Amino acid sequence: MGLLPFVNHVKVKALSKYILLFFLSVIAFIFNGCNVFDKEEPIPSYVRISAVGFQTEPNSLQGTSSSNITDAWVYVNDQLQGVYPLPTRFPILTSGKSNITIRAGIIENGIDATRIEYPFYNSWDSIVELKTKEILSIHPKIINYKPGTVFHLIEDFEGLGINFEKTSSSLNDIGKTSNSEIVFEGMNCGKFEILTGTTDVTVATIKLYDLPKQGNDVFLEMNYKINQNMEVGIMAQNGGQITQSSVLGLRATTTDSGTTQWKKTYINLTQAISSQPYASGFKVYFFAEKADSVDFPVFYIDNVKLISF
């Protein structure tokens, strides 16, 4: 019984020590927490881009300036800031003189989920003054394709002849139209159709093209206006044999109102070409089989470019 007051005294003393440590910890947390929350956040500058233009110079021999740049790949002082669907406005945690580089982003193969930095266009560069809390509007215009771009084919249907012909299996041929209500630009565009009494059409380039393989970029650019779906592919020459490979299908460009409109597409042929390592040459072809829902299938194409490095 004589030990109880001593034991209680020890327990009270220990408890007081823990309570003191607890309060000291709370005070330290509050003090340090105030420093964290009081830390000044950086204030951004803002950049607005409505569109990214593209232009080929008349003496560049690079064909049309028609493009479909959907995204801006933005670099600030050589560091990737982000990829932005156009039009866009975005913050930058930088102020003062800065180097902004814009590279063109496109929808590859017409598939919205495959957005890439187009490898063939030049970039746009400018030194700008960024100011915190302020919006800087820029209007980039990219000039020409990159040096080293090889144009295997540029067909704008403005010359005397054309670089396409029907294949031996096709009853329908390709020609030109000068109808100003249809033509995309210039005086003419290419036209082929599935005539009454026939079921399909296949047209291909007349020449075989020596295209790079081993994963090197090869693209087909074109404007098109079609009222039913159309297949795009390549024909590979392997000795005396031709191998035909479909690359993708283009959907009809018919609107809800029933009219057709022109579209621009970038078709990646890289994998299809590189999968034929022993081919001595390639053709590009277009194929369509008559759809039951379309009475008079007609296909207009323009500004066909086959390019690589």
Query: Under CATH, which number does the domain 150-308 receive?
Result: 2.60.120.260
CA angle 244, 245, 248 (to 5 degrees): 140
- Identify the architecture of domain 45-143 in CATH: Sandwich (2.60)
What phi and psi, each to the nearest 5 degrees, are found at residue 100? Answer: -105, 130
Written as six digits, the tokens of 54 are 């593209």
**pLDDT of the chain, 309 residues: tens digit per residue:** 444 443 444 444 444 554 554 555 555 545 455 454 556 788 999 999 999 999 999 888 999 999 999 999 999 999 999 999 999 999 999 999 999 999 999 999 999 999 999 999 999 999 999 999 999 999 999 999 999 999 999 999 999 999 999 999 999 999 999 999 999 999 999 999 999 999 999 999 999 999 999 999 999 999 999 999 999 999 999 998 999 999 999 999 999 999 999 999 999 999 999 999 999 999 999 999 999 999 999 999 999 999 999
Q: Give the integer Cα–Cα distance in Å for 57 and 279.
A: 34
Q: Are strands 88-92 and 45-49 parallel, antiparallel or unpaired?
A: antiparallel
* HSE toward the beta carbon, residue 228, CA cutoff 13 A: 18
CA nearest neighbour of 88 among 144, 140, 30, 20? 140
Q: What are the DSSP E strand ranges found in 157-297?
A: 164-166, 174-177, 189-193, 200-205, 218-226, 230-238, 241-250, 263-268, 281-289
pTM score = 0.86
CA nearest neighbour of 212 among 130, 272, 136? 272
Instruction: Return the pLDDT at 2.
Output: 47
> Please, which residues have CB within 8 angstroms of residue 304's CB and are 6 or more apart in sequence?
153, 154, 155, 156, 163, 190, 220, 221, 222, 284
Q: Give the integer Cα–Cα distance in Å for 238 and 193.
A: 30
| Extents of the domains making up the chain | 45-143, 150-308
Q: Give the integer Cα–Cα distance in Å for 67 and 263.
A: 10
